[in-house]
Structure 1
C-alpha cells in the first residue's frame, strides 16, 4: 500500500525556528547575545543560543540575571542583544540608579515570558539606553518579536509579530468561529516549527488541535490592524510566572493535601 500523503500543513518545514528568529531579530556575525535566564527554557534556546549560533554570533552565558553580575558582563563583552522577563527588566531599570557599568553596546533588550505592563515598558528605553523589543513564544513552537522599524506606540502595547512568514494565526471564540477584527479570542497557531501533535497522546491531541492542524494555545489575544499580537490573558485556569505555567488545580490540590487543610 502506498503511504498516505500528509496534508500541506504537516509537511517538512521550510523555515526553522532559529533561522526565522535570527532573521526577525537582525542577528549577524556582530551579534553578541547575553543569556541571563535558564538556558533550558525554549526562549533562551531559540532566541539566545540557537539563533545566535545560526547567525555566526557570540553567546555569553551569565550565572545570574542580577545586575551586579549581568551589567559588568555587558560592558566587558560588548553585548549587543539580551532578553529579560518583566521582573528582571524592572530590577535592571532600578539598578541603573546605583551602577555605572557601560551599557552603550546594547541594541535591543527583548522582554517576554509574561506581558509587560505598558507603564513599565515606557521606562525601559530611557533607563537602559537601548530599544525595547517585546516578544512572545511557547514550547510548542510559535514565537514572535517586534521588528527594528516598529514604532514606539506598537512596541509599548503589543508583543510582536510571528517570526516566520509561514506562521498562520487565527483568533476564535468558544465555538471556533473567528472573532471580529480587533476583538479578543483564543489564539490558534499553525506553522513550520509549531508542533503537529504530542507524542503518543491521541486523546489529548484531539482536544489540543483542530481538524486542520491548528494548535490551541490557550492564550487570549487580539490582533492589531498591523498584525501585531496583544496578549490579554488565558483561556485555561493557569498562572504564568516568568514563562513557567502553573496549573491552578494542581496548586489547589497540593494546598489541600495536608490533613489539617482538608
Structure 2
C-alpha cells in the first residue's frame, strides 16, 4: 500500500458501522435477482452469532474450502467476517469440481466441510470418492437449501462425519443451526434451533405469530440480517416489516422444543384440485426410489386440476429408468394421492442456478419445450 501511495501513508477512511459494505444477490429461482445489502455491523454480527454456535468457542486457524461458490453468495460474503475474526484460511476454487474437492480434502487433511445439498450429492456419487482418503473429515455442515433426510443420513453413514445443518438465506445471513449432541433424527428432519442472538417465529398471512406445530411463514430478526434490498424500497417494505422482522417466504413450523421444520418455499407450492402440495415433500419420497438418482418437482398448469406436479428425474440407470406409473405408485404408498406426480420427464441432470439451487423456471421451460411421452 505504501508503494502504491508513493511512500505517503494511506489516507484515513471515515467509516461508520451502519455503512453499506456488501451487496449479496438472491438466486433468482422464481424472479429477477435482488441485491440484499449488509453493513459493517451486520457482517460482524454474523461472526459473533456463528461463534456462539460453538460451546468451546469458534476454532481458530481453521481452513475453509470455498469450492466454486459465487462471491455474490451469502455464504461466501458473510464468511469473510468469520475468517478474519478467527484467523482462518480460505482455499478458493474457481468452479465446483467434485474431483478437485475430494482431492483437496485428502491433500489438505480438511477436518470440516460445508456445502449445499446438490454439491454434497455430487461428492457422494463421484467415482473418485472410494479411492480418496477422507478420514480427516470430522464434521460436515449442510446449508444453502433444504436437505433431504436421506442425504443427511448418507453423509453421516458414508463419510463417518458428524453432520450439522443450518438454515440461512440471502436476506437473514444466519438463523438456525443444529449443535453437537443433537439427536440424529432431529439433524435429519429439522434445520436446528435459533442460534443465540437470533429471534425466530412462524407467522400467518396476517403476520400473527403461530403456536408450535402450526405451519406458516418463517420470520427472522437479528442484528445480522440484511438492511434491505439495494435501491428497491418497495421490495424491502414487502420483506422487512415495521418491527424489523425479515419475512423469508419459506414455510415451516416449530416443534415444542423450538426446532424448525421446513416445508418448502411459498412460491414453489402448487395447488392441485384445491389441495396444497409442497414439492420438497414429494422430492424426498422420490429420492428413496431405487431407480431414482435425483429428482425435482414443479407445479404446472392443468385444465382440470388447476395445477399438477411434474417430476424431473435423473435415473440411476439410464438403461432402466422408472416409469410414471412406478413413481406414482411409490409416492402413493406414503403420501396422499393428490401429491403423486402427474407427469414425468427424464433428464441427464437437474439444472441449477449459479447459487447451486434447483432452477425450477428452467425445468418448466424444459417441460413446455419437449413434454414427456409419459404425460397423462
TM-score with structure 1 setting the length: 0.78
How far apart in 1 are the matches of 2:168 and 2:64? 18
Aligned residue pair count: 240
SS of residue matched to 2:155:
helix
Deviations 1:133-166 (A, max 9, x none): 1122111224232212222111111112333x22
How far apart in 2 are the matches of 1:229 and 1:180? 12
User: Offset at 1:218?
Assistant: 0.7
Q: Is 2:96 the counterpart of 1:65?
A: yes
The counterpart of 2:50, out of the listed 12, 21, 38, is: 21
SS of residue matched to 2:60:
coil
Q: Is 2:78 the counterpart of 1:46?
A: yes
Alignment CA distance shift 1:245-1:206 (3 Å): farther
More divergent stretch after superposition (26-35 vs 216-225): 26-35
Q: Could you say which residue in structure 1 is the equivalent of 2:321?
A: none
How far apart in 2 are the matches of 1:114 and 1:231? 10
- Give yes or no for contact 1:21–1:46 (8 Å, CA) kept in 2: no
- Give yes or no for contact 2:117–2:146 (8 Å, CA) kept in 1: yes
- Give yes or no for contact 1:189–1:214 (8 Å, CA) kept in 2: yes
Alignment CA distance shift 1:77-1:197 (3 Å): same
Q: Could you say which residue in structure 2 is the equivalent of 1:177?
A: 208
User: Offset at 1:19?
Assistant: 2.6
How far apart in 2 are the matches of 1:58 and 1:16? 20
The counterpart of 1:134, out of the listed 160, 165, 172, is: 165
Q: Which runs of 5+ in 2 are unaligned?
A: 1-40, 270-297, 299-351, 370-376
The counterpart of 2:125, out of the listed 88, 94, 102, is: 94
Deviations 1:200-237 (A, max 9, x none): 43333332222222111111011122322221112235
- Give yes or no for contact 1:80–1:108 (8 Å, CA) kept in 2: yes
Alignment CA distance shift 1:50-1:81 (3 Å): farther
How far apart in 1 are the matches of 2:44 and 2:94? 32
User: Offset at 1:96?
Assistant: 6.8
Deviations 1:110-139 (A, max 9, x none): 112221111222111121121111122111
SS of residue matched to 2:237:
helix
Deviation beyond 6 Å, 4+ runs, structure 1 = 12-15
- Give yes or no for contact 2:166–2:177 (8 Å, CA) kept in 1: yes
Alignment CA distance shift 1:150-1:119 (3 Å): same
How far apart in 1 are the matches of 2:128 and 2:227? 47
Alignment CA distance shift 1:243-1:93 (3 Å): closer
Deviations 1:17-57 (A, max 9, x none): 0232244255322422211141411113334x432332122
Alignment CA distance shift 1:75-1:27 (3 Å): farther
Q: Is 2:169 the counterpart of 1:123?
A: no
TM-score with structure 2 setting the length: 0.56
The counterpart of 2:194, out of the listed 162, 165, 168, is: 162
Q: Is 2:263 the counterpart of 1:232?
A: yes
Q: Could you say which residue in structure 2 is the equivalent of 1:146?
A: 178
Question: Which of the two has higher C-alpha Rg?
Answer: 2
